[in-house]
Structure 1
Amino acid sequence: MQTTAADVLDIHANLLPMQGQVEVYRHRALARMACLPPGHPLYRPIRRAANRYVRKHRSPLHELTRDFNIQPDKTETIKAVRFPPHWKSKIKIEIAESMEEAMAMERMDNSDVKAYGDGSGIDGGIGAAAVVFRGGRRVKTLQLRVGSARKHEVYDGEGLALTLCTEPLRGMRNVRTATFSIDNTSAIQATTLSRPATSHHIFDLFHKRIDMVLRQHPDISIKIRWVPGHQGIAGNEAADEEAKTAARGDDSELRKLPAPLRKPIPYNKSSLLREFYAKQKRHADQAWRKSPRYSRFRHVDSATAQRAARRYRKLATSMPRKITSIMMQLRTGHIGLNRHLFNIQRVESPACPKCSYPNESVHHYLIRCPAYQNEREMLQRSIGAQGTAVTTKHILARQENIPHLVQYLNSTCRFEPTFGTFPDVDIAEEDTGE
């Protein structure tokens, strides 16, 4: 109803409060500008604004860079054009259709050099590692701590692991075939893409290192293969352990790493957006706890705002609009019962028209009204709550009880003048829809 408070509506619509949503859009705009390439007209202005907050005549850029902790010089650059139009990747990729096929391909691989890469996120850090085998013997291990999980993604670690796989090849001789194996298909597919995207600077670096390897080994054949993780493949398991070690801060000496990886890795734009959005959700939870509506809504769902939003979204999935509407009204109390109608001056008394109880609330209608005792007993039997006290949370917060609630609404006819007859809800169809 129009009288429903905005914070309650936000929860049921799975939205942040208005101010939080505005902050998300402002932060997103700044992140996008921080990633602009040097040729863009805003490249220098955004950096000047970030480096100095002037006293007078401030521009919107000054306000954005002051409000949000995004440092353009430490953030990745997303180019408008990465490669020439005719560019094609110089390596092959192999992604099996099934785990069994991938395991079989791994067993049959007899490449001169087999390198296993992996990225890992653990204990608040992101790590990358490469373990290289030649002739069945482990000859090289490289580890890199990418940075904080608040600034980077595991996807970055996977891409950097591929770059680490190229480094040992530059110091080898008589290598004709090499296979890089990782357990992330997205990173493998990213090596063939030419369009701009988050973290593309990592894969651009990978292609540059591949070019260096090809200059040293003109006849080498390099392929990247997907291997299933945690399936007992020795190289993959070793790379996973080394990546976790790197994420905790124990990485290789700088002199052993490729030169471009000896300096800090630029922040991932997606990580910055994700972290800020999570911060706004925490603020929304805190604001909801302090809201006067929270104490009245606890009888339906006492969880945080974000958890309550997820629960209702799951609850309302695939429900007809009419049932979604009545569920929303029952949960918020803003419904065509006399208590609410009296509050908004639409009726002269809040009393129940059936039993004359002085306060016809949702709780009274569902739990207490003696005029609906027979219908309520049928509802109680349907939800399997014989011998226990039925609560509004039991009725309004559990998906499996919605069909029984609909039967109760239809049998009491209390809302028939407004809604008519409610359609039946099939539990099996609901589960399938999820």
Structure 2
Amino acid sequence: IGAVAMLYCRFKRLKVVRKCLGKEEDHTVFKKECVGQVLEMELLRGELKGRRKRRVVRKVMVGTNNQVEMLALQDSSPGMGCYLINQVLEGTHRIRKTGLDANIGIFWTPRHHGIASNKQADKEVKKVAEGNKTGMEGLHFLQKPLPKSRAAIVIQHKKAWCREAQQTLAQSLRFKKAKAIDPNLLNAMKIIATLVGLPHKHASLLVQLCTGHCLLN
């Protein structure tokens, strides 16, 4: 999984920077979006070092397709990934130090639809997957591998638990009979979605009818 930032001025691409975070099992989309914004802020800061360029810029627009990250920017309370949010905010402060007096806006762009450079961004992401990354000058915290995301680790554990539960269920003596009634018995998510809106008594009756087994509490 990787992060890509591209700097455009008047629909003309100026610079691009890429960062490989690591395996998809170790990181989340939230982290990717945060790192992408940190890269964007650093690209803009480097472009605004000249006084002449600061006069030209009137508005800065940063697009993201992750609403959780946008909400986290508005919430100053500590939480998971707060060090990434702090780096994004620090990037805006570093831009202000260059003398920029323009508005910096972060907008939600669902799946980046309607963005002219979306296809080009997809190509850059593929380059990251191939190991093609750029330098991280000026961003010391990105020069080292980022810690694994707690949320990503929990997701991997849940997947492992689901696989183990499916294997245990498949080895059950009642499984063949139950599968003849419900071929999707191994798909626990579909079963839960069916039962979650029912009273416990009704859900228990459905399970008994499906499995031919009376649950004992």
What is the TM-score with the length of structure 1 in the denominator? 0.44
Correspondent of 1:202 among 71, 84, 90: 84
Separation in 2 of the partners of 1:295 and 1:228? 44
Say whether 1:233 aligns with 2:115.
Answer: yes
Say whether 1:250 aligns with 2:132.
Answer: yes
Deviation at 1:140, TM superposition (A): 0.6
2:60 is aligned to 178
Equivalent residue pairs, number: 207
Separation in 2 of the partners of 1:247 and 1:203? 24
Correspondent of 2:24 among 102, 124, 149: 149
1:101 is aligned to none
Deviation at 1:254, TM superposition (A): 4.2
**Matched residue of 1:147: which SS?**
coil
Any conservation in 2 of the 1:129–1:142 contact (CA below 8 Å)?
A: yes
Equivalent residue letter for 1:141: V
Runs in 1 of length 4+ with deviation above 6 angstroms?
none
Separation in 1 of the partners of 2:94 and 2:74? 18
Any conservation in 2 of the 1:131–1:238 contact (CA below 8 Å)?
A: no
Residue-by-residue CA offset, 1:65-104 (whole Å, 9 max, x unaligned): xxxxxxxxxxxxxxxxxxxxxxxxxxxxxxxxxxxxxxxx
1:212 is aligned to 94
Correspondent of 2:182 among 301, 307, 311: 301
Deviation at 1:146, TM superposition (A): 1.3
Any conservation in 2 of the 1:285–1:304 contact (CA below 8 Å)?
A: no
1:316 is aligned to 195
Any conservation in 2 of the 1:128–1:247 contact (CA below 8 Å)?
A: no
Deviation at 1:267, TM superposition (A): 0.8
Any conservation in 2 of the 1:152–1:271 contact (CA below 8 Å)?
A: yes
Larger Rg: 1
> Structure 1's 149 and 317: CA in aligned 2 closer, same or farther, altered over 3 A?
same
Separation in 2 of the partners of 1:323 and 1:169? 59
Alignment of 1:330-409 (within 5 A): 330-334=209-213
Can you give the 5+ residue segments of structure 1 that lack an aligned partner in the other structure?
1-125, 336-434
Deviation at 1:320, TM superposition (A): 5.8
Equivalent residue letter for 2:133: D
1:278 is aligned to 159
Separation in 2 of the partners of 1:214 and 1:145? 27
Mean CA deviation greater in 128-137 or 240-249: 240-249
> Structure 1's 318 and 290: CA in aligned 2 closer, same or farther, altered over 3 A?
closer
Deviation at 1:319, TM superposition (A): 4.5
Q: Calculate the aligned-residue CA RMSD, in Å.
A: 2.4
Correspondent of 1:261 among 142, 146, 154: 142
Mean CA deviation greater in 162-171 or 323-332: 323-332
2:72 is aligned to 190
**Matched residue of 1:285: which SS?**
helix
Equivalent residue letter for 2:124: E
Deviation at 1:154, TM superposition (A): 1.2
Deviation at 1:329, TM superposition (A): 2.2
Residue-by-residue CA offset, 1:101-152 (whole Å, 9 max, x unaligned): xxxxxxxxxxxxxxxxxxxxxxxxx111111012432111011111111110
> Structure 1's 332 and 187: CA in aligned 2 closer, same or farther, altered over 3 A?
same
Any conservation in 1 of the 2:6–2:16 contact (CA below 8 Å)?
A: yes
- Percent of matched pairs sharing the same residue: 26
**Matched residue of 1:209: which SS?**
helix
Any conservation in 1 of the 2:178–2:185 contact (CA below 8 Å)?
A: no
Separation in 1 of the partners of 2:71 and 2:197? 34
Residue-by-residue CA offset, 1:328-381 (whole Å, 9 max, x unaligned): 22222236xxxxxxxxxxxxxxxxxxxxxxxxxxxxxxxxxxxxxxxxxxxxxx
Equivalent residue letter for 1:278: K
Can you give the 5+ residue segments of structure 2 that lack an aligned partner in the other structure?
none
Say whether 1:133 aligns with 2:8.
Answer: yes
Any conservation in 2 of the 1:300–1:331 contact (CA below 8 Å)?
A: yes
Separation in 2 of the partners of 1:254 and 1:321? 55
Separation in 2 of the partners of 1:252 and 1:314? 44
> Structure 1's 311 and 185: CA in aligned 2 closer, same or farther, altered over 3 A?
closer
> Structure 1's 137 and 263: CA in aligned 2 closer, same or farther, altered over 3 A?
same
> Structure 1's 316 and 279: CA in aligned 2 closer, same or farther, altered over 3 A?
closer
Say whether 1:329 aligns with 2:211.
Answer: no
Equivalent residue letter for 1:267: K
Separation in 2 of the partners of 1:265 and 1:219? 32
Separation in 2 of the partners of 1:249 and 1:265? 16
Q: Which has the higher contact order (CA 8 A, sep 6+)?
A: 2
Correspondent of 1:221 among 72, 95, 103: 103
Equivalent residue letter for 1:297: A
